[in-house]
A and B are shown apart, each in its own frame.
Chain A
Amino acid sequence: SYVLTQPPSVSVAPGNTASITCGGENIGSETVHWYRQRPGQAPVLVTYYDDARPSGIPDRFSGSRSGNTATLTITRVEAGDEADYYCQVWDSDSDPSYVFGTGTKFTVL
C-alpha cells in the first residue's frame, strides 16, 4: 500500500512560520489534502487540492507540492494551531485507496 511519511513532531514559536512535510513516492502525481486534529476532537479539513481552503480556515494555512514532498505551511503561528496534522491522498493503485500520513504533532512553543 502507498505510504505517506511525516515528521513525528514539529515545534515553532508563536508568530513564526511552520512547515510540515509529507513524503511519498511520486506524490507529485497525487493531490494532497491536510487535516488538523486537536486533542480529543475529530479531524478538520484545512487544505484540499494542495492549496485550496474550506470556508472558515484562515489564509495562514497553505499547501504546496514539489517532487516527492508535499508541505503544509502555517504562517503567523498561533497557540490555537497546536494539534496533530495529517496529510492524505487518494491513490487508485493502493489498498486502501484513501491513505493518511503518519501524522505530525505540532507544538507551539
Chain B
Amino acid sequence: QVLLLQSGPEVTKPGASVKVSCKASGDRFTTHYVHWVRQAPGQGLEWMARINPSHGDTYFAQKFQGRVTMAWDTSTNTAYMQLSRLTFDDTAMYYCTRSSLRDWYYFDIWGQGTQVTVSS
C-alpha cells in the first residue's frame, strides 16, 4: 500500500520560511510526480508546484514562482517543500500528492496534510 506521510504542524512568523516533508512508502516514486496543494481555512484546493523525483525538474504555479523550493531525497524517499517570505495569507493546510509521469492529469494518493500557521 502506497502512503504519503507528512511532517507535523508548524507555527512561524511573517517573513520567515517553512519546510514541509512528505515521506513516501510502498513505492520508489520513480514513475510519479510529487505535487503540493494547499487549502486555506474554509477555502478550496490550490495547486502550487510539482517535482519529478527521477530528474529533479520542477514546475510551479506562477503565483508561487520564486517563493517555493522543492527537493527529493532519494535515500529516504522523501519530498521537501520550502515556502519563503511567509505572510498571514500562507496560513493553510499543505498536502503532498502524486500523479503518474505518463498520466499526470489527476492525483491518486494524498498525504494527511501539514498545518502551517503564520502568526506574529
* Residues of chain A whose beta carbon lies under 8 Å from any beta carbon of chain B: 31, 33, 35, 41-45, 48-49, 54, 86, 88-90, 95-103
Contacts and interface: CB of A to CB of B under 8 A. Distances in A.
B46 A100 contact: yes
B35 interface: yes
B108 interface: yes
B102 interface: no
A43 B46 CA distance: 12
Interface residues of chain B: helix, strand, loop or mixed (majority): mixed
B101 to A, nearest CB: 14
A102 B48 CA distance: 16
Interface residues of B, number: 22
18 contacts: A33-B105, A33-B106, A33-B107, A35-B107, A42-B95, A42-B110, A42-B113, A43-B110, A44-B110, A45-B108, A49-B105, A54-B108, A88-B107, A90-B104, A96-B46, A97-B47, A100-B45, A103-B44
B44 A86 contact: yes
Contact of B44 (A42, A89, A98, A100): A100
Nearest to A98: B47
B55 interface: no
B62 interface: yes
A31 B105 contact: yes
B112 interface: yes
B14 interface: no
B61 interface: yes
Contacts of A90: 104-106
B35 A98 contact: yes
A44 B106 CA distance: 11
A96 B63 contact: yes
A103 B106 CA distance: 16
A86 B35 CA distance: 17
Q: Which of A41, A97, A98 has the most CB of B within 10 A?
A: A98
